[in-house]
Amino acid sequence: MLLVYLVFIIANICSIKSHDWGYTDENGPNNWPGLCKNGKRQSPINIETDNTLKDDLGSLKFLHYDYAFTGILTNTGHNVQITLSGVPIFLSGGGLTSKYVLEQMHFHWGAEHTIDGTRDALELHLVHHDKKYENVSIASQHDDGVAVVAVLFKLNDDDNDNLYAILKAAESVSQWVGKSSIEIQRKVIPVHLLPNDRTTFYRYSGSLTTPGCQESVVWFVMTEKLTISESQVEILKNVQTHNGTLASNYRPTQEVGDRKVYHHLLGYSSSPISTPTPFVFLAAAILSSLF
């Protein structure tokens, strides 16, 4: 019985240690193990706009994103996460070969993806799993099992009214002791957290940006940015965890390597435009002289 008890204690210690990760000091991103350290398709990345491949990948389709949902906000100790209740919310298009279900959304401050080396104030991740899997945890074990839409927020003098109820809830659970949740006092309409122009985005293959960094994610980084005020960002910077104040929770950018980063532009054709031959010009001249 004593041996069983000791094994139980050791197992729990190991379990706690394996989950003891964060964004600072010895438990920060540079010391995350496994794929986080050794993977070849890690996220986030710096998107160099001049090096992207322009093409029409097909429009992203956001089904039920315009519905109003009851939302629960949770301080996970690593971010603030929102889960919605109601009919399933789907993502398709953009080159995806399946339909994906929205499981949760969460924030990173500052932004994780950078554009031409510029890091914005905030990034929202809308995390979806392929509908053939039960959840993101299972889907992350399969190629392209997860699809994440990333929305960047740049600083602005004015508050973003669409974030008011979410940040009010974040304020309420900021004094974190264990995992704490609260109902968001206003219905959440996901489309209000997307840019108006959804016809352009970047797409690439990458990973989860938190341990264990599974390389199973199709990333869509929206080109158009939303805005947030400095005072709104400060609410998130004051979120508390067992490791202290979560002043920032972004993973540094990872090497792109030989991956292709696409820039979707609606109606864009990557096919070369053929140059008329001299024969075509001659034929046109002859025809014009006949009329």
pLDDT at 164 (0 to 100):
98
Beta bridge partners of 207: none
List per-residue pLDDT tens for the chain, 291 residues long.
Answer: 433 333 333 333 333 343 579 999 889 999 999 999 999 999 999 999 999 999 999 999 999 999 999 999 999 999 999 999 999 999 999 999 999 999 999 999 999 999 999 999 999 999 999 999 999 999 999 999 999 999 999 999 999 999 999 999 999 999 876 679 999 999 999 999 999 999 999 999 999 999 999 999 999 999 999 999 999 999 999 999 888 899 999 999 999 999 999 999 988 876 554 444 454 444 445 544 554
DSSP-assigned letter for residue 55 = E
pLDDT at 4 (0 to 100):
33
Q: Which residues are catalytic?
A: 78
Q: pTM above the 0.75 mark?
A: yes
pLDDT at 217 (0 to 100):
98
SS3 state at 123: strand
pLDDT at 269 (0 to 100):
76
Whole-angstrom CA distances from 261 to 40, 48, 79, 220, 275 are 15, 9, 27, 10, 29
DSSP string of 155-210, one letter each residue? E-SS--GGGHHHHHHHHHT-S-SSSEEEE-SS-B-GGGGS-S--SEEEEEEE--SS
